[in-house]
């Protein structure tokens, strides 16, 4: 059983990508909307939350846990790997290396939560591939708007309106792929980079390396939302389709 977790429905953008490669897997998707947003919480709070969610997923039989949340990954994956040694954690990260690989000269905007942008893990990645033409932007409150299906146009106009001639946009929060068209309305025809493709490759590599069965006769998905909000479940099935 593969567990997938996020602070809400953002991780579904990662799950969609995983399903292209593992169409008949057995999955539990854990939407922690009760604690959304993760992005503005302290490190201690996030680790406490992750301990709880990870313990639940392990109790439900997950040996492999996908952190489909950049904030959780940036802040928590090293801690989780050290504490739960038998569990394989697959962690998303902002796809800044893809910019280095595909368009290193391009003017780049990295959009992510404050927690991700300020994390040691992300800053190591950034300094490794720094193209000296990059703006790091903490999008405080944006994931929460997306989570609650609110209109983001005013927010994006105010936040992004001053950025001109952007070529690359790194979607460093798994909620943001859900608003690509709204971002394009403000920034024009930019190229998006998100970490879900790299994460899926890594997931497959780890499953094969550890000889873990991941293909069954039929796809099984169990959806859990920590606030037991029916609306979240409906939205989950709409996005995953």
Catalytic positions, written as ranges: 69, 173
Q: Say which residue the tokens 């991780």 belong to.
A: 11
Strands (E), the chain: 2-6, 26-31, 64-67, 88-91, 108-112, 134-138, 168-171, 191-194, 220-225
Does residue 36 interact with ligand DGL by CB under 6 A?
yes
Give min distance, CB of 93 to ligand DGL, in A: 10
Question: Footprint of ligand DGL on residues 70-99 (CB under 6 A)?
Answer: 70-71
Quick one: which of 2, 5, 6, 160 contacts ligand DGL (CB under 6 A)?
6
Q: Say which residue the tokens 């962690």 belong to.
A: 91
Compose the 156-195 pattern: x for residues touching ligand DGL by CB under 6 A, - for all others. -----------------xxx--------------------
Contact region with ligand DGL (CB under 6 A), list: 32-40, 100-108, 158-166, 183-191: 32-40
Which residues in 138-159 are b (16+ Cβ under 10 Å) and which e? Answer: bbbbbbbbbbeeeebeebbeeb
Quick one: which of 116, 119, 134, 226 contacts ligand DGL (CB under 6 A)?
116
Q: How buried is residue 203: exposed, middle or buried, by Cβ count under 10 Å (0-12/13-18/19+)?
A: buried
Give min distance, CB of 125 to ligand DGL, in A: 14
Rg (CA), the chain: 17
Phi, psi of 195 (to 5 degrees): -80, 0
Contact region with ligand DGL (CB under 6 A), list: 31-39, 55-63, 117-125, 128-136: 31-39
Site residues, ligand DGL (CB under 6 A): 6-7, 10, 36-39, 69-71, 113, 116, 143, 173-175
């Amino acid at each position: 059983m593969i567990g997938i977790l996020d602070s809400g429905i953002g991780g579904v953008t990662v799950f969609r990508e995983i399903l292209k490669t593992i169409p008949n897997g057995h999955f539990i998707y854990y939407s922690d909307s009760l604690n959304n947003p993760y992005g503005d919480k302290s490190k201690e709070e996030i680790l406490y939350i992750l301990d709880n969610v990870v313990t639940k997923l392990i109790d439900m039989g997950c040996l492999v846990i996908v952190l489909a949340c950049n904030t959780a990954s940036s802040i928590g994956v090293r801690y989780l790997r050290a504490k739960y040694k038998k569990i394989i954690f697959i962690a998303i990260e902002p796809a800044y290396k893809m910019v280095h690989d595909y368009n290193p000269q391009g003017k780049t905007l990295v959009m992510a939560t404050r927690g991700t942008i300020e994390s040691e893990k992300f800053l190591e990645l950034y300094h490794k591939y720094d193209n000296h033409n990059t703006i790091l932007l903490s999008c405080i409150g944006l994931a929460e708007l997306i989570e609650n299906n609110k209109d983001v146009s005013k927010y994006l106009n105010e936040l992004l309106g001053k950025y001109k001639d952007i070529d690359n946009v790194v979607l460093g929060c798994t909620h943001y792929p859900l608003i690509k068209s709204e971002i394009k309305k403000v920034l024009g025809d930019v190229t998006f980079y998100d970490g879900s493709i790299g994460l899926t490759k890594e997931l497959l590599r780890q499953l094969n390396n550890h000889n873990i069965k991941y293909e069954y006769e039929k796809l099984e998905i169990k959806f859990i939302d920590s606030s037991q909000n029916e609306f979240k479940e409906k939205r989950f099935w709409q996005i995953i389709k």
